[in-house]
Amino acid sequence: MSGQFYDVIIVGAGPAGSYIAYELASSGHDVAVFEEKSASRLNVCCTGIISTECFQSLDPGTDVILTKVNSTKLFSPSGRCLRLQTKNVQAYVVNRLLLDKAIASKAQSQGAQYFFSSPVIDIIPGKDGIQAETLCFGAREIFSARAVVLANGFRPKLPRKLGLGKIKSFLVGAQAEIEAKNVDELEVYFGQEIAPGSFAWLVPISTNKAYVGLLATSQAKPHLQKFLNNLSCQGRITSREVEIEQKAIPVGTLARSYGDRVLVIGDAAGQVKPTTGGGIYFGHIGARIAAEVLDEALGSDNLTAGQLSRYQKQWKAKMGKELFLGYRAKWAYAKLSDRQIEGIFNALDSSGMAEALLNSSDFSFDWHSRLILSVLRRSSAYPLMKMRHLLSREASL
């Protein structure tokens, strides 16, 4: 057993874990972060698209930026293209490895202690503290703290063991880095054949490289392989070998994201945009709220579940409606046929609605519920009426 006693132990050095480590260490707390990967192998399967709002709040430094996004080509199932462009940069594609390292290094500069190659295998709550059982470079060690934050991504074992529930539903995201020709802006492909229930993407990361990926309810890798073959036939891929990586993305939230001396943030809590599977910003908002609640609880030495429940109330107040409508919209979209998706493209394009929405106050890169409601209210095209009907059973439209 290690003699060290911390204020807070954080499990996971992803963007959510390292950001809360930074905030808490900046407030003067003793913080330890345990990460199962080694410092040199922090690689994550992620495209790294974050809004300018998220980038400014994370403040990782401009070195992490690969490309800027101010235009997108949306492709219908038949290949019809709808190009959207804004005057200002809406988002950045960041190098995820550099992003994670930059946030970790900010936390370290405030005094947070990092233990790499150190998976946490168990959390043991006690009356006067809480313990984390770890395998530091393979050697079993126990560390104690006043509180633990689970920021370990979509891994159900530890939250379930602590009686916080389990997120049952998920999507699988698959992605490959390719050498590519003529990929100079973000491309998004819709259609149940291409990516069942979701979408595929092509994202430029340098002049001749791009990420190709998709989200799917199942069989993400075979669908991506098919999509890659199509791109290859079109002569857009120049790489000979392509390695596909995949990762699960939660769809739904944890029943309880707090307990005695415990908080859960980021993907682990289900803080992910259901419409896109993007979790960096919502996890960051979760981390920010958790840091405030935990700072206060540490200050008053009240780390009971009752006190920490404020965290869940606050993050649900900020994101709950957005998540709820996003789940419903995703569910309704999955029920559309490719013909109906084509019909939505027609409605968006022919009436100039897409352009109007883009320039309206309903458009936001991160918050999609207002945009979804606005689209549904503006058009009487049949597929949108169908979505509206499916959604109206649960949401007030």
Ligand X SMILES: Cc1cc2nc3c(=O)[nH]c(=O)nc-3n(C[C@H](O)[C@H](O)[C@H](O)COP(=O)(O)OP(=O)(O)OC[C@H]3O[C@@H](n4cnc5c(N)ncnc54)[C@H](O)[C@@H]3O)c2cc1C
Interface with ligand X (CB under 6 A): 11-17, 34-37, 44-50, 119-120, 151-153, 155, 173, 175, 213, 247, 249, 266-267, 272, 277-281, 283
CB 142 to ligand X: min, Å: 14
Identity of the residue, 244 or 397, whose beta carbon is nearer to ligand X in the bound complex? 244
CA–CA dist 274, 321 (Å, integer): 12
Beta-bridged to residue 71, according to DSSP, are: 85
Cβ-based neighbour number of residue 164 at 10 Å: 22
Identity of the residue, 86 or 346, whose beta carbon is nearer to ligand X in the bound complex? 86
> Please, are residues 123 and 262 in contact by the beta-carbon 8 Å criterion?
yes
CA–CA dist 13, 104 (Å, integer): 7
Identity of the residue, 46 or 107, whose beta carbon is nearer to ligand X in the bound complex? 46
CB 310 to ligand X: min, Å: 20
Identity of the residue, 283 or 383, whose beta carbon is nearer to ligand X in the bound complex? 283
Q: Is the four-CA dihedral 365, 366, 372, 374 of positive or negative sign? A: negative
Quickly list DSSP for 32-81: EEE-SS-GGG---S---EEEHHHHHHH---GGGEEEEESEEEEE-TT--E
Identity of the residue, 275 or 340, whose beta carbon is nearer to ligand X in the bound complex? 275
Identity of the residue, 213 or 343, whose beta carbon is nearer to ligand X in the bound complex? 213
CB 379 to ligand X: min, Å: 28
DSSP state of 94: E
Give which of 103, 36, 111 is closest to 283, Cα–Cα: 103
Name the amino acid, one letter, at 15: P
In this structure, what is the dihedral angle of CA atoms 89, 203, 104, 155, given to the nearest 10 degrees? Answer: 130
Strand, helix or coil for residue 389: helix
CB 307 to ligand X: min, Å: 23
Give which of 326, 228, 220, 246 is closest to 44, Cα–Cα: 246
Identity of the residue, 23 or 35, whose beta carbon is nearer to ligand X in the bound complex? 35
Tokens of 350: 């022919």
CB 69 to ligand X: min, Å: 10
> Please, are residues 91 and 11 in contact by the beta-carbon 8 Å criterion?
no
Identity of the residue, 195 or 384, whose beta carbon is nearer to ligand X in the bound complex? 195
Identity of the residue, 41 or 393, whose beta carbon is nearer to ligand X in the bound complex? 41
Name the amino acid, one letter, at 250: P
CA–CA dist 232, 177 (Å, integer): 13
Give which of 244, 261, 223, 240 is closest to 132, Cα–Cα: 261
| Site of tokens 């109007």 | 356
Q: Which residues contact 92 (CB under 8 A, 6 or more apart)?
A: 49, 50, 52, 55, 65, 66, 67, 68, 69
CB 118 to ligand X: min, Å: 7
CB 243 to ligand X: min, Å: 13
Identity of the residue, 120 or 251, whose beta carbon is nearer to ligand X in the bound complex? 120
